[in-house]
A and B are shown apart, each in its own frame.
With several copies, the nearest count.
Chain A
Amino acid sequence: MIDKPNLEVEIAGIKLKNPVMTASGTFGYGEEFSPFIDLDKLGAMVLKGITLNPKMGNPPPRVIETPSGMLNAIGLQNVGVEALIKEKLSQLQKYHTPVIINISGDTIDEYIKIAKRLDEVSESKKIAGLEINISCPNVKKGGMLWGTNARSTYKVVNQIRKITKLPLIVKLSPNVTDIKEIAHSAEEAGADAISLINTLAGMAIDINSARPKLANIHGGLSGPAVKPVALWMVWQVYQTVKIPIIGIGGIMKAEDAIEFIIAGARAVQVGTANLVNPEAPIEVIEGIKEYLAEKQIDDINKLTGSLII
């Protein structure tokens, strides 16, 4: 009788007490959730995407609801890497959960500058790793460009790889013809892990005003609606790369997370669910425990890629 199955997983050299992380942009800078959950219970925290300089972001409305999903066009509003280090990371020092910084840049140079800076303070500020966002669909010049082309993906990842020893997680965009190709070049370029998916590009229109519902016209689709697309991409990438995969997309309950793990994910990220239920990540962790106990699986790692076809 297995009643305490092992939940520990290792991603890109980062040891996680369980495979459940929070997805960038849906968990703020962490502290926002401390009134609701014990942050020390999380597998890891991925913070709001950061850029070199502070970013204003897009005009409102920035979020609107769609069937079983939502569109967001935040436009990467963030405090910039320096304020992140000074204020936000300092707040998190008291916690024991690995902190992963999600970084975005308009140019390779910007990516490098951020990575360098975070690398410098990684010891003092306990930064566990970097998640490279080459896929944020809201920033015209940035993300999209890199993540939708295998060569540019290779280029940016490889450059960052050269200047930091920090574990690198490359976060892929689903808005591509062949996710396997992109994942492969990220691995080639030296990524330690791959996370997917970021949001699907989408749009909604208010037929009374004949205007887009988002001020930014289009935004990123997330939530349960995208789960089937995300699962299929995770399974495809699992066939392609050797490095661990972090599954993301519409995970609201433990059952969803388990689908991703069976499809090949070593860990998962909970995103939109945080906006609906701040306790979601904890509930997912508990649910996974119950599933393993019920199925008498002694180690979560055995579930990864266990899809029977």
Chain B
Amino acid sequence: MANKRKKVRLVLKTKVKIFFKEKIVSDPDIYLMGLSASLIANEAKPGQFIHIKCSKDNYPLLRRPLSIHRIDKEKGEIYILFQVVGEGTKLLAQKEVGDNLDVLGPIGNGFNIYPESKKIMIVGGGIGVAPLLALCEGSIRQEKEVRVLIGALKKELVIEEENFRNLGAKVDVATDDGSYQYKGLVTDLLERVIKEGWLADQIFACGPKPMLKKINEIALKANIDYQVSLEERMGCGIGACLGCVCKIKTKGKKEEKVKYEYKRVCVDGPIFEGSEVVWDD
């Protein structure tokens, strides 16, 4: 409870100015956007997100959640990396440098990097890399040895590879069509890396659900601690509407019939232990 209340108290509603905008991939369109948001940058930790009002009016009505892609506490800046999939992200992509955004944030629990961990494995699929760059930077600042595996459909859709590398991580890429580096799924690549004997103390992942689920099996088998960033349709983004839930196992409550409960992705997550997530759907 206390823990949760603390999280809630850190959330801010602010207007932040767009100081940078670049289209880094076309069709699907993916944008990188820089926001002057000193208050948020100051509070933010890897794995958290901001909740953005993309329109001035009712169309779309609800905010849209986007992960914090990079955090620059010194400059008081954060970055978001987003793919245009519908009305909200389309409107967001139409905003220009100098425009203000109405955002809530930073929201969520964030990734938990254990002090004792030495080797960190980060796996991102598609736009799922969004929250992972900040995580990579954080891990390296804590002097972890970091490897990053990026999965994409094809070469053109591999994003942020260089940025991870520049942070000092070893980066490998898997493309479904083999148009770049390893041909196949990023999960196959992960298994290979493990087979080769590089055993991480923690695996962190974000991407399509099937990928996250598969990694859970791999992590379980290799018995590596695994944290995932989950997504769900959101309403409030602040824990009030119970709209964004996911199935989480209820540990130790043997007496109960149901073996899971619904937890809120927005404030109980978006980061969960892979082992506590009910993957069956």
Answer whether residue A174 sits at the interface, using C-beta atoms and an 8 A cutoff. no
Q: What 1/0 flags go to A81-122 for Cβ under 8 Å of B?
A: 000000100000000000000000000000000000000000
Task: A109 to B5: give the CA distance in the assembly, Å.
Answer: 34
Interchain residue pairs with CB less than 8 A apart (11): A25-B241, A25-B242, A33-B238, A35-B9, A56-B262, A60-B245, A61-B233, A63-B243, A224-B58, A277-B53, A279-B13
Task: A65 to B233: give the CA distance in the assembly, Å.
Answer: 9
Are A27 and B62 within 8 A (Cβ)? no
Task: A59 to B235: give the CA distance in the assembly, Å.
Answer: 15
Please give me the residue from chain A that is nearest to B246 by CB atom: A60
User: In the assembled complex, which residues on chain A have CB atoms less than 8 Å from the CB atom of B241?
Assistant: 25-26, 28, 63, 72, 74, 275
Knowing A32-B8, A32-B239, A72-B235 are in contact, say whether A57-B245 is a contact too (CB < 8 A).
yes
Question: Which of B1, B8, B58, B262 is in CB contact (< 8 Å) with A77?
Answer: B262
Q: Closest 7 A-B residue pairs measured CB to CB?
A: A28-B240, A63-B243, A32-B240, A275-B236, A68-B58, A275-B235, A61-B233
Answer whether residue A252 sits at the interface, using C-beta atoms and an 8 A cutoff. yes
User: In the assembled complex, which residues on chain B have CB atoms less than 8 Å from the CB atom of A87?
Assistant: 1
Q: What 1/0 flags go to A235-275 for Cβ under 8 Å of B?
A: 00000000000000000100000000000000000001011
How distant is B57 from chain A, measured CB to nearest CB, in Å? 9
Interface of chain A, main secondary structure: loop
Q: What 1/0 flags go to B41-79 for Cβ under 8 Å of A?
A: 000000000000100001111110000000000000000
Interface of chain B, main secondary structure: loop
Q: What 1/0 flags go to A19-34 for Cβ under 8 Å of B?
A: 0000001111001111
Knowing A28-B241, A64-B233, A275-B240 are in contact, say whether A224-B104 is a contact too (CB < 8 A).
no
Answer whether residue B35 sits at the interface, using C-beta atoms and an 8 A cutoff. no
Are A278 and B5 within 8 A (Cβ)? no
Knowing A35-B9, A57-B262, A59-B281 are in contact, say whether A70-B62 is a contact too (CB < 8 A).
yes
Q: What 1/0 flags go to A36-65 for Cβ under 8 Å of B?
A: 100000000000100000001101111111
How distant is A90 from chain B, measured CB to nearest CB, in Å? 10
Answer whether residue A308 sits at the interface, using C-beta atoms and an 8 A cutoff. no
User: In the assembled complex, which residues on chain A have CB atoms less than 8 Å from the CB atom of B53?
Assistant: 276-277
Knowing A35-B9, A60-B244, A87-B1 are in contact, say whether A278-B236 is a contact too (CB < 8 A).
yes
Answer whether residue B84 sits at the interface, using C-beta atoms and an 8 A cutoff. no
Answer whether residue A142 sits at the interface, using C-beta atoms and an 8 A cutoff. no
How distant is B209 from chain A, measured CB to nearest CB, in Å? 12
Answer whether residue B234 sits at the interface, using C-beta atoms and an 8 A cutoff. yes
User: In the assembled complex, which residues on chain A have CB atoms less than 8 Å from the CB atom of B157?
Assistant: none
User: In the assembled complex, which residues on chain B have CB atoms less than 8 Å from the CB atom of A77?
Assistant: 242, 245, 262
Answer whether residue B258 sits at the interface, using C-beta atoms and an 8 A cutoff. yes
**Inter-chain pairs besides A64-B233, A224-B61, 11 sampled, C-beta below 8 Å:** A27-B240, A28-B239, A48-B242, A59-B262, A60-B244, A61-B232, A61-B233, A67-B59, A276-B63, A278-B104, A279-B13
Answer whether residue B261 sits at the interface, using C-beta atoms and an 8 A cutoff. yes
User: In the assembled complex, which residues on chain B have CB atoms less than 8 Å from the CB atom of A56?
Assistant: 258, 261-262
